[in-house]
Amino acid sequence: MARQHRAATPGESGPEAGRPGPGRNEVALSGRLSAAAEERVLPSGDTLVTLRIVVPRAEATTRAGGRTGERRPGQVDTIDVVCWSARTRRTALRLEPGAGIDVEGSLRRRFFATPGGRQSRYEVEARTLRRGHGTGANDT
């Protein structure tokens, strides 16, 4: 007999929240565009736009053992974003380097062949993309 799955409801937390369930893969970023977005046409004929967003790190981080680490000024994460839908592609191509940007989407792992062998890369697949403040204040 098939097992019933249930998603976590708002307000639930902890390791048992919503278990068993299908999982969750949601990403929300607020940062700035590091360089102009690039449009590519794949051998399949599909068009995509790639961009890179620079996101300031949170003020404090938790290290192993529960200790809080101090944030060094200027620490950022640079994250690759891919846009597949026509709407997100258009928006990405209109943004200027340095512009504030908000991205919502899912984390994806892409596999590809290189002369050195098979490799993979993680990137955020944008579901929504909009001009934002890019301060990093609402990073999640």
User: Under DSSP, is residue 92 helix (H, G, I), strand (E, B) or coil?
Assistant: helix
Enclosing domain of residue 51: 27-57+73-131
Whether this model's pTM surpasses 0.75: no
Is residue 122 in some structural domain? yes
The DSSP 8-state label assigned to residue 3 in this structure reads: P
Residues 6+ apart with CB under 8 A from 129: 81, 83, 88, 91, 92, 101, 102, 103, 104
Average pLDDT taken over every residue of the chain = 82
Is residue 66 in some structural domain? no
- What does the pLDDT look like over 1-50, one tens digit per residue? 444 444 445 555 555 555 667 899 999 999 999 999 999 998 899 999 99
- Given pLDDT bands bounded at 50, 70 and 90, which one contains residue 57? confident
Is residue 44 in some structural domain? yes
Question: Sign of the CA dihedral 60, 28, 126, 118?
Answer: positive
User: Under DSSP, is residue 9 helix (H, G, I), strand (E, B) or coil?
Assistant: coil
Give the range among 44-53, 75-84, 113-122, 128-137 with minimum mean pLDDT: 128-137
Q: β-strands 117-131, 76-83: how paired?
A: parallel
Contact 80, 50 (CB under 8 A): yes
Is residue 127 in some structural domain? yes
Is residue 123 in some structural domain? yes
Is residue 83 in some structural domain? yes
Q: Look at 16 and 103; give whichever has higher pLDDT.
A: 103
Is residue 34 in some structural domain? yes
- Which pLDDT belongs to residue 2? 45
Residue with tokens 């053992």: 65
Q: What total number of domains does the chain contain?
A: 1
Question: How many other CB atoms are there within 10 angstroms of residue 19's CB atom?
Answer: 11
Is residue 140 in some structural domain? no
For the segment 96-110, the average pLDDT, to the nearest whole number, is: 96
Residue with tokens 């046409």: 41
- Which pLDDT belongs to residue 74? 75
Beta partners for residue 33, in sequence order:
53
CATH number at residue 100: 2.40.50.140
Highest mean pLDDT among 1-15, 54-68, 70-84 belongs to 70-84
User: Under DSSP, is residue 120 helix (H, G, I), strand (E, B) or coil?
Assistant: strand
